[in-house]
Amino acid sequence: MSSSPGHGHHLGPTALVSVGLGGAVGALLRWGVEVLVPLGQGWPWSTLLVNVAGSAALAWLVVHTDRRAHPPWLRPGVGTGLLGGFTTFSTYAVQVAVVGADRPVLAGLYLVLTPLLCVAAAALAGGAATRRDDR
């Protein structure tokens, strides 16, 4: 999996438009998840869900696009745009602080559990993409 930020990207108008459109769609999707998934007993389920799902999707995308030909707009549009707009570290950080004001143990659990689940989801999805592409 390549970790270089500009890997395979060209800063042309197509990439810029795809990042912008993808970001708009990703932000709307995240908002939709927040509307559909209620806050359960102080636990920010919607943010956890989008961050774990987004980590898995990004890992799969990176592995897949590193191994196969793809349109030049795909990785910046879906990776940086859509998934960047869908996932949210800033909301996670604020939620840790807000929940911690009243429920510090729950905030600590959320603080630790979110990155662990995101890394696990990325590892599983990246591994699945690798196995799929190796067939």
CA nearest 88: which of 26, 18, 16?
Answer: 26
Q: Which residue carries 């990703």 as its tokens?
A: 26
In a domain, 18, yes or no: yes
Burial class (CB in 10 A: 0-12, 13-18, 19+), 56: buried
In a domain, 89, yes or no: yes
Residue 129 in this model has a pLDDT that exceeds 50: yes
Count of domains forming the chain: 1
pLDDT digits (tens, 9 = 90+) for 9-67: 567 889 999 999 999 999 999 999 999 997 777 789 999 999 999 999 999 999 999 88
- Domain encompassing residue 93: 13-134
